[in-house]
Amino acid sequence: MTKLLPLVALIAASFSALAADFPLKDKPITLVVPFSAGGPTDRVARDLSEALRKQLGTSVVIENAAGAGSSIGAAKVARATPDGHTLLVNHIAMATMPALVRNLPFKVESDFEYLGIINDVPMTLIAKPSMPASNYKELATWIGQNKGKINLGNAGVGSASHLCGLLYQNAIETDMTTVPYKGTAPAITDLIGGQIDLLCDQTTNTTSQIEGKKVKAYAVTTAKRLSTPLLKDLPTLAESGVKDFQITIWHGLYAPKGTPADIQVKINTALKAALKDPDFIKKQEGLGAVVATDRRVEPAEHKKFVQAEIAKWTPIIKAAGVYAD
């Protein structure tokens, strides 16, 4: 035991030196995005990368590693050297992966350091332009009259639209034929063309389609109505009679387990400053996202929040019996 003490001290000293030098000027920070380029999470990460660059004084680059309900990109970060130079930006998938991916190669709750929530993105329930219903009450009647014939699109298993669709079917106790696509763009294209009937997706994807009157919008998924001028008149699903329905797509920042505490503090401090950056806030508002300002920007509260979300989503996903692996 006595012989091990010098080794322990050497390891501790090396980690201390690593934290003091962070970030290394000749090594960029990589934000791994577990979804395709151009999607809503990718856009959030790219906006964040610029805001973090200002705070940390080093380049911040994006690496897209999509697939398997976001578990491919997340696994890459879980295995990365814990030096603060490889981070993960992921959304609500951090709470759904434990149920969606049956052979998950890591543990969400113990293989990452939680660094803070970034934002919340509302969702909208939209339909094909030829949908005869003019409001949600009429849409609910149409759904009741067309059980067994309704096609509900999504951007792929594990996507935000897939999760919203699962929750919606569960809430209204109605099964629909789910049609997965390889991304949001083809799903919305088919919705506009009338090949599918409904889609529940993020405002980052739907606002311009609603504004252009290419789709019909019926409700938002938040607890309160949105203040966005274009969407402020849309009712919430809860006020429309769908009990206990609420979902927003939150994004968070993560590091590999074992990242030195001092480095975690530096990144969290930079994140908090980034969330107050006027340019970042403006860009997020343009996406329909709400920048986090509550206690979830603290690592411990971030983790508690994800644990609660895991408890919420696991039974819903298991009941659906649809998996990403």
What pLDDT is attached to residue 174? Answer: 95
Q: What is the DSSP letter of 189?
A: H
Average pLDDT, the chain: 91
Residue 211 has pLDDT above 50, yes or no: yes
For residue 4, pLDDT over 70 is answered with: no
Which residues lie closer than 8 Å to 269 by C-beta, 6 or more apart? 55
| Of 256, 259, 254, 266, the residue nearest 56 (C-alpha) | 266
Neighbour tally for 169: CB within 10 Å: 19
pLDDT classification of 323: cutoffs 50, 70, 90: confident
pLDDT number for residue 159? 86
pLDDT at 13: 47
Percent of the chain with pLDDT over 90: 74
Q: Which range is least confidently modeled, 3-17, 75-89, 279-293, 302-316? A: 3-17
Residues 6+ apart with CB under 8 A from 63: 30, 31, 32, 33
- The tokens describing 188, both together, are 């919305």
Please provide the DSSP assignment of 97-122 as one string: HHHH-TT-SS-TTTSEEEEEEEEEE-
Better-predicted residue by pLDDT, 285 or 55: 55
The predicted pLDDT at position 54 comes to 96
Tell me how far apart the alpha carbons of residues 135 and 140 are, in angstroms, rounded to a whole number: 9
pLDDT of residue 240: 94
CA-only gyration radius of the chain, Å: 21
- On the 0-12 / 13-18 / 19+ scale of CB atoms within 10 A, 153 is buried
pTM of the entire structure? Answer: 0.84
Give the pLDDT of residue 18. Answer: 56
* Highest mean pLDDT (candidates 72-81, 161-170, 203-212): 72-81
